[in-house]
Amino acid sequence: MKVLLDLQYLNVATTGIKTYMMELANAALAHPHPDIEWVFSHDPETQSADQTFKGPQSKIQRLNYHMDYFRWKEFQLPDLIKNHKPDVLICPDFVSPVASLSCRRLTVIHDAFFWQMPENYPKWWRTYFLSLIRKGLKEDTEIITTTEYSRKSLYKYLKKIYPMTVIHQAPKKLTEGVDSSFLENNGLQNLHYFLHIGTFDKRKNLPLLVRSFADFLKKTDSNFKLVLAGGAGQSSQMNDKPVIDELVAELGLQEKVIVPGYVSDAQVRSLYENGFAYIFPSENEGFGIPIVEAMTFGLPVIHSDQPALMEVAGGAGLTVTTGDQQDLTEKMILLTSENSRVATMIKKGKEQSKKFSAQKFIEGFQNVILKN
């Protein structure tokens, strides 16, 4: 069985979807199946390192990227299929070619955000992208998604019922060495900071986290800090970074809230290994890979009661009501005052994280690929 994995989108992918694509490719190589031959459309590392369309861009550059993406999906990828003659095509970036193909399709749709939160996307772009998604869902398509929550959400919005399988993804391995100087340079002490890593998208509820942290400091007289690592939201509509900057200044938390921007893998590992707890107050997620990463490193996790996060945490985290500032503050205080609870959560978290291995990730795909 020959399988073609489309990795073209790695030239612009960031955060969650980049991790998904890289770990899928890595898992395919690390855990081969005797009945499956993998063909990659691009070398993962080379494509990921391509800077052609990354960074600040003009409207012309963005238009050039969309044209490049369209050419790939609708012309170059179908030609590649004709040359390699795969039995299965996997598109891990929502979109499969519109053209009729000679193979089965596995299209990964990570979440239903485009339908659930239209206000977070430029109207013309959302209309265009949803059109690409729908037109690529042909009769021979099976959808792969990340959680039961995402599966139920997609069934609500797709006009046609397609075969759909939930495959839990694996976290990034983060095998690089730690960057201890990063902690020192930011005035961070071991076990004395709360952590959040990810983009400043509005759905992450980071202003609420900052306000809850401010209340936590007032009520505990603590020397804890809060680290918000990651880049700006992925569009002007989605970006809460300016709101966070203004709020931190308004509350006088410039020395307490650390906003380092994008961080390297070594810096991420340093943050996980030395943090006190990870906080994930998001109002909507398709999966929530930082929960698995944090639990793997032995960080207790406080997360909202959003369904995907509840599913991934599996009862090993401390749950707060989504959007409830007071509840979040109280859970932060609770965690810092009960050492036995922290120890129990660390133990449960490490056990829960084992459910999301690279081998289980690729076995999910192997089972779908070989079932017919």
Residue 112: Cβ within 10 Å count:
21
pLDDT band (50, 70, 90) for residue 176: confident
pLDDT of residue 60 exceeding 90, the answer is: no
CATH number for the 2-170+357-370 domain, one of 2.60.40.290, 3.40.50.1820, 3.40.50.2000, 3.40.920.10? 3.40.50.2000
CATH topology of domain 180-355: Rossmann fold (3.40.50)
Query: Average pLDDT of 300-312?
Result: 97
Alpha carbon distance 234, 102 (integer Å) = 35
pLDDT band (50, 70, 90) for residue 372: low
Predicted confidence at residue 234, as pLDDT, reads: 66
**Hey, where are the domains in the chain?**
2-170+357-370, 180-355
**Can you read off the two tokens belonging to residue 25?**
């490719």
Alpha carbon distance 142, 121 (integer Å) = 26
Residue 6: Cβ within 10 Å count:
25
- Backbone region of residue 251 per phi and psi (left: phi > 0; alpha: psi in -120 to 50; beta: other values): alpha
For 350-365, the DSSP string reads: HHHHGGG-HHHHHHHH
313-363 pLDDT, tens digit each: 999 999 999 999 999 999 999 999 999 999 999 999 999 999 999 999 999
**Can you read off the two tokens belonging to residue 164?**
């759909």
Query: Average pLDDT of 122-146?
Result: 90
DSSP state of 72: I
Share of the chain above pLDDT 70, in %: 98
Helical segments of 221-338, H only: 241-250, 265-274, 289-296, 307-313, 325-337
180-355 has the same fold as 2-170+357-370: yes
pLDDT band (50, 70, 90) for residue 233: low
pLDDT of residue 54 exceeding 80, the answer is: no
**Can you read off the two tokens belonging to residue 293?**
């990463």
Full-model pTM: 0.92
